[in-house]
Amino acid sequence: MTSPTTVPSIRLTGGVPIPQFGFGVFGIEPDRTADAVALALDAGYRHIDTAQMYRNEQGVGAGIKKSGVPREEVFVTTKLANDAQGHDNAITALEGSLRRLGTDYVDLYLIHWPLPAKDRYVKTWQAFDEILKAGKARAIGVSNFSPAHLDRLAGETGAVPSVNQIELHPYLQQAELRRYHEEHGIATEAWSPIAQGEVLGDEVVTRIAAAHGRTAAQVVLRWHLALGHIVFPKSSSPERIRENIDVFGFALSDEDMRALGGLDRGRRTGPDPETFDG
C-alpha cells in the first residue's frame, strides 16, 4: 500500500488542494465500481475521477462508504453530461450527481466537453460559477477546452476555470495548451495518461522501465508527475491499481525526461474536441 501522505497535492486557484494522483473510473461497470473504488482507497488513493456519463457515480459513493475513509478525506470530481449543458440543466444535473454520490458537495465539477457546435458552454459556465458560490462544488473547471474556448469563457464571464482536463500522454504532449494553462494559472489534468495502454510497448518507455526496475506504466505516470500534471489512471485489476500508484519511490533522470519528451506524435486515442458534438 502507498501511504496517502506520500501523494503530493497541487493547490488550485481558490486554494483548494487536489491530490496529484487519483483513480479514474471511466469504463468500470456500474456494479463493479464500488469494489474498485474501495480497493483503490485501501491502496492509498484519495482522489476519484468520475462523470455523469460514466453511469457509475452511485458506485463511487458506495465505494467511499464501504472503504471507511471519511468523505472529507477523498477528493471527488464529476463532470456534467453533454446533453445537460445550459444554465438550469447544469444545476439540476449536479443535484442528481450529489444524490447518486451520497454527498452534499463535490470537490470539483467539470464541463465534460466544450461541444462548440452547440454553443452552450458560456451559459453553462455561468451556472458553474453560481454552484461554486453556493458551496456545492469546492472548485470548478472544464475538460477538453482549447485556448480559444478558454479565452471566450474568461472574456464573457470573468471566471477562469481552475482545471482543464485534457487528453495528454507521451504520444500527445499538448505543448501549446500546457503553456496556456501555465500562463493563466489553470491546473493541467491528463486523461488517458497511459494512452489506454498504447504507449506501454514503446521501446523508449520499456528501455527506461528496465533501467529503473519499474513497469512501463509506472515510468509514464512518473513522467506526468515530473511535469506537474494531475493523473488518474483507470484499471479494473487490483494488481494494476496498486502498481499504478506505486510511483513515489523513484525518479526519472533529465535524459529519461528528454527521451520521453521526444515521443510526441500528436496521436489522439479519443475524439477531437473541436469537432466532437457529443
Ligand X SMILES: NC(=O)c1ccc[n+]([C@@H]2O[C@H](COP(=O)([O-])OP(=O)(O)OC[C@H]3O[C@@H](n4cnc5c(N)ncnc54)[C@H](OP(=O)(O)O)[C@@H]3O)[C@@H](O)[C@H]2O)c1
Query: Which sequence positions are flagged as catalytic?
Result: 54
Tell me the helices (H) and strands (E) count for the chain, helix number first.
10, 10
The reply on whether position 243 binds ligand X by CB under 6 A is yes
**Interaction between residue 200 and ligand X (CB under 6 A):** yes
Q: Is 144 in the site for ligand X (CB under 6 A)?
A: yes
Which letter, b or e, does each residue of 134-157 get, where b requires 16 or more Cβ atoms within 10 Å of its Cβ?
eebbbbbbbbbbbeebbebbeeee
Cell of 232: 488518474
24 is a contact residue toward ligand X (CB under 6 A): yes
141 closest CA partner among 125, 123, 157: 125
User: x-or-dash pattern for ligand X, window 75-114, by CB under 6 A?
Assistant: -------------------------------------x--
* Residues facing residue 38 across a β-bridge: none
Give yes or no for residue 194 binding ligand X (CB under 6 A): yes
- Cβ proximity to ligand X: between 25 and 74 the closer is 25
Smaller CB separation from ligand X, 15 or 219: 219
Question: Nearest approach, Cβ of 241 to ligand X (angstroms)?
Answer: 8
Taking CA 263 as the corner, what is the angle to CA 181 and CA 168, rounded to the nearest 5 degrees? 35
- For the CA atoms of 123, 98, 272, 179, the dihedral, rounded to the nearest 10 degrees, stands at 80
Could you say whether residue 217 binds ligand X (CB under 6 A)? yes
Return residues touching ligand X (CB under 6 A): 24-27, 49, 112, 143-144, 165, 191-197, 200, 215, 217, 232-237, 240, 243-244, 270
